[in-house]
């Protein structure tokens, strides 16, 4: 199981570890290993907490040395962006070292993935008054072409009748400025903020929910909205965990 990783122990337990546990329960014949793609987080955990996590290449090398024959690499990433493509490069280097080596895709890949996530979001992030309340989801965003996923997901939310759900990104497009412009077209009074990321880590806790004046919470409050935070990463939601399980099942059953 490969994720970007997080240095926040609480959200790591509720999201990454929760996904891993659910997947391990579904595939008792497989050993489950963890890898992070963020070198910065790997180093921080080593230095600060004496926790050692492999990067994907290190994890694959260990599996090869330990004589594993069938390996399924499933990313817990949300989009097939640059992190995902770096992972695929690492996997390709090991393609001749295992009898079976397969890599899965990110959460939002096929059209049905978007609709399934929209259903999960609607079930998990609820509002009471559709005319006065809106939900703003903070995605990570990317300079990679896969950043278009966020706009597509926003479109699908609207298509599903979730007209008061909006998607913005912290490092891509649309930014919060574009989201605020859309919010202003309606008479919303209250905004519920939630991460559209696997974990509620640094971006969610600081850029989204922090007390600094440039945080999304503070900026929305400055626009006159009452703001409520739902600080749960996508990895906490059973619907998201099931989506990863379905992807792995598809890989295992592929001829």
pLDDT for res 97: 97
pLDDT for res 200: 95
Is 144 tagged catalytic? no
Q: What are the phi and psi torsion angles at 184 (to 5°)?
A: -65, -20
Structure tokens at 220: 């929305």
CA distance 227 to 236: 22
CA distance 50 to 53: 10
Mean pLDDT, the chain, integer: 97
Closest CA to 203 of 169, 176, 165, 159: 169
CA 81 to chain centre: 12
Q: What is the pLDDT of residues 222-247, one digit of tens each?
A: 999 999 999 999 999 999 999 999 99
Environment class of 1 (CB within 10 Å of its CB; exposed 0-12, middle 13-18, buried 19+): buried
Q: What is the pLDDT of residues 149-187, one digit of tens each?
A: 999 999 999 999 999 999 999 999 999 999 999 999 999
Cis preceding-peptide flag for 174 (omega within 30 of 0):
yes
Confidence of residue 49 (pLDDT cuts 50, 70, 90): very high
What distance, in Å, lies between the first and last C-alpha atoms of the chain? 21
pLDDT for res 255: 64
Residue 64: pLDDT over 80? yes
Closest CA to 56 of 68, 69, 70, 72: 72
CB 253 within 8 A of CB 217: no
Closest CA to 122 of 194, 183, 52: 194
List 77, 85, 140, 203, catalytic entry: 140
Confidence of residue 48 (pLDDT cuts 50, 70, 90): very high
Closest CA to 10 of 49, 36, 46: 49
Helix (H, G, I), strand (E, B) or coil at 161: coil
Question: Average pLDDT of 174-201?
Answer: 97
Question: Average pLDDT of 113-141?
Answer: 97
């Amino acid at each position: 199981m490969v994720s970007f990783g997080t240095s926040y122990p609480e959200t790591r337990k509720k999201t990454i570890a929760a996904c891993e546990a659910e997947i391990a329960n579904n595939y008792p014949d497989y050993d489950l290993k963890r890898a992070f793609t963020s070198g910065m987080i790997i180093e921080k955990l080593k230095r600060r907490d004496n926790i050692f996590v492999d990067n994907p290449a290190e994890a694959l090398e260990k599996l090869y040395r330990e004589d594993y024959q069938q390996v399924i690499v499933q990313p817990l990433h949300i989009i097939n962006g640059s992190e995902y493509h770096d992972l695929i490069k690492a996997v390709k280097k090991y393609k001749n070292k295992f009898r079976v080596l397969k890599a899965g895709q990110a959460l939002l890949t096929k059209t049905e993935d978007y609709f399934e996530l929209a259903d999960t979001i609607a079930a998990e992030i609820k509002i009471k008054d559709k005319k006065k309340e809106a939900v703003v989801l903070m995605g990570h965003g990317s300079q990679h072409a896969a950043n278009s996923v966020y706009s597509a997901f926003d479109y699908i939310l609207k298509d599903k009748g979730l007209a008061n759900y909006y998607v913005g990104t912290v490092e891509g497009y649309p930014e919060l400025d574009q989201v605020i412009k859309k919010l202003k077209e309606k008479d919303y009074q209250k905004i519920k903020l939630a991460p559209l990321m696997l974990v509620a880590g640094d971006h969610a806790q600081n850029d989204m929910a922090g007390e600094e004046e440039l945080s999304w919470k503070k900026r929305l409050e400055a626009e006159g909205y009452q703001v409520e935070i739902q600080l749960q990463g996508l990895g906490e939601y059973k619907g998201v965990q099931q989506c990863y399980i379905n992807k792995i099942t598809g890989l295992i059953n592929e001829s």
